[in-house]
C-alpha cells in the first residue's frame, strides 16, 4: 500500500468578475495553505518519500527557501535528518524558519548554482540522498497532483496560470494536464523582470543562463530553467509573459486585502497577470491560477518593497 502523501488537498475557490481587470471569474488553487507554505511540498515530499522508501537515511537539498522548508517538513515527517544548503541571498528569517522546521542549514555561495553544487557534493560524500528543488520527474509527478485535485472537484478551466523559477511547477502542471486528458489546455508561464530565464530562452530559441537575478522575487531566482522545461513549449501550448516587481508586490497586497493570505512576490507575479495582462485573459472564460505561496514574506516586507518600488 503506497504511503499517504505529505501534502494537503488545498482549497479551490472562485473570485468575482470584479476582482481583476480581466473581467473574468478566476479559479484560485490555494497552495499557499500547504503545511510548508508553498506548493513545493507536493513534489519535494513525493521525492523525499521515494528516497526514504529506497533506503535513504539522510537528505540534502539546495534551496533559496521554499523547497528547503518543504524538504525539512518532509524529513521531519519521515524521521530522517535533512540538511538544506542555501545561497547567501537567502534571508536570515528564512534560514531560521527552515531550522525551526527541523533541518540543518548551511550557507554556501552567492547564487543557487553554487549552493546546489555544494549540496550534491555533500550528499555524495556522505552517501546520502540529494533532492533537487525543481529538476526531477518525481517532483513533476508530485506537483501535477494540484491538477488532479482541481479535476476531481469538477471545476472547468480553460487555461492555467503559474509562476516559473526553475520550472518544476510548470512541468508538473503540464504532466497533470496530460494525465487528465487536458493536453489542449494552455499554460501561461509568468516570471518577474530580472528573473525571467524562461522568457529569455523562449525569445532566444535556446536555453539561456541569466548573468544575474535582479528581481526581488528570490523564489524565481533560477538563472537557467531545466532542460525539460525549456523543451515543453514544443509539445504543449505555453505562453511566456513577464510582470514587474512593482506589479507583483501590488498583487500580493491586493490579495492580502481581499483574502487575508500573504504570498511572496514570486506568487504575486502570477496574481498580477489578471490585471497587467488583462487582454491576454480575455481569450479565456475560466482561468485557473496556481496560488503557489512562499515563506519569504511578511506584511512589513511587502510594505517596504512597495515603498522602494514606487
pLDDT of residue 2: 59
Q: How far apart are CA 246 and CA 75, in angstroms?
A: 36
Furthest C-alpha separation in the chain: 55
C-alpha cell at 7: 501534502
With CA atoms as reference, report the closest residue to 163 among 72, 79, 251: 251
Identify the three-state secondary structure at position 189.
Answer: strand
Amino acid 1: pLDDT: 43
Residue 19 grid cell: 476582482
CB atoms within 10 A of CB 128: 20
- Using left for φ > 0, alpha for ψ between -120 and 50, and beta otherwise, residue 8 falls in beta
Residue-by-residue pLDDT tens, the chain, 310 positions: 457 899 999 999 999 999 999 999 999 999 999 999 999 999 999 999 999 999 999 999 998 789 999 999 999 999 999 999 998 888 898 899 999 999 999 999 988 888 999 999 999 999 999 999 988 999 999 999 999 999 999 999 999 999 998 899 999 999 999 999 999 999 999 999 999 999 999 999 999 999 888 898 878 778 889 899 999 999 999 999 999 999 999 999 999 999 999 999 999 999 999 999 999 999 999 999 999 999 989 999 999 999 998 7
Output the pLDDT for position 226. Answer: 87
C-alpha 195 chain-centroid distance: 13
DSSP secondary structure code for residue 38 in this structure: B
Report the SS3 class of residue 241. Answer: strand
Nearest to 137, CA basis, from 181, 180, 179, 171: 171
Q: Structural domains in the chain? A: 12-39+137-309 (3.40.50.1100), 41-131 (3.40.50.1100)
DSSP-based three-state secondary structure for 159: strand
Q: What is the pTM of this model?
A: 0.95
Measure the CA angle with vertex 191, ends 169 and 90; round to 5°.
80
Residue 111, SS3?
coil
DSSP 190: E
Q: Report the alpha-carbon distance of residue 153 to residue 179 in Å, rounded.
A: 16
Among positive and negative, which fits the CA dihedral 114, 120, 124, 127?
positive
According to the model, what pLDDT value does residue 112 have?
A: 84
Q: Give me 159's grid cell.
A: 487555461
Amino acid at each position: 500500500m503506497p504511503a499517504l502523501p505529505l501534502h494537503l488537498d488545498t482549497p479551490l475557490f472562485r473570485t468575482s468578475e470584479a476582482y481583476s481587470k480581466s473581467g473574468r471569474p478566476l479559479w484560485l488553487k490555494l497552495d499557499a495553505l500547504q503545511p510548508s507554505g508553498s506548493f513545493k511540498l507536493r513534489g519535494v515530499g513525493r521525492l523525499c518519500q521515494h528516497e526514504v522508501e529506497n533506503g535513504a537515511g539522510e537528505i540534502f537539498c539546495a534551496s533559496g527557501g521554499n523547497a528547503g522548508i518543504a524538504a525539512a517538513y518532509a524529513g521531519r515527517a519521515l524521521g530522517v535528518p535533512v540538511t538544506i544548503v542555501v545561497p547567501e541571498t537567502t534571508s536570515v528569517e528564512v534560514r531560521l524558519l527552515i531550522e525551526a522546521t527541523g533541518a540543518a542549514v548551511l550557507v554556501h555561495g552567492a547564487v543557487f548554482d553554487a549552493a546546489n553544487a555544494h549540496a550534491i557534493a555533500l550528499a555524495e560524500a556522505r552517501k546520502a540522498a540529494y533532492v533537487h528543488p525543481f529538476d526531477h520527474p518525481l517532483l513533476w509527478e508530485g506537483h501535477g497532483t494540484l491538477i488532479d485535485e482541481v479535476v476531481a472537484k469538477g471545476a472547468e478551466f480553460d487555461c492555467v496560470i503559474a509562476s516559473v523559477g526553475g520550472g518544476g511547477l510548470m512541468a508538473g502542471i503540464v504532466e497533470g494536464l496530460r494525465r487528465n486528458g487536458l493536453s489542449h489546455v494552455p499554460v501561461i508561464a509568468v516570471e518577474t523582470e530580472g528573473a525571467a530565464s524562461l522568457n529569455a530562452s523562449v525569445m532566444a530559441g535556446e536555453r539561456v543562463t541569466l548573468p544575474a537575478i535582479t528581481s526581488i522575487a528570490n523564489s524565481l531566482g533560477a538563472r537557467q530553467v531545466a532542460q525539460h522545461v525549456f523543451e515543453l513549449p514544443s509539445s504543449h501550448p505555453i505562453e511566456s509573459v513577464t510582470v514587474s516587481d512593482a506589479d507583483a508586490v501590488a498583487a500580493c497586497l491586493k490579495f492580502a486585502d481581499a483574502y487575508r493570505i500573504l504570498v511572496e512576490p514570486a506568487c504575486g507575479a502570477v496574481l498580477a497577470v489578471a490585471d497587467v495582462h488583462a487582454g491576454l485573459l480575455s481569450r479565456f472564460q475560466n482561468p485557473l491560477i496556481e496560488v503557489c505561496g512562499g515563506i519569504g514574506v511578511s506584511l512589513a516586507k511587502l510594505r517596504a518593497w512597495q515603498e522602494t518600488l514606487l
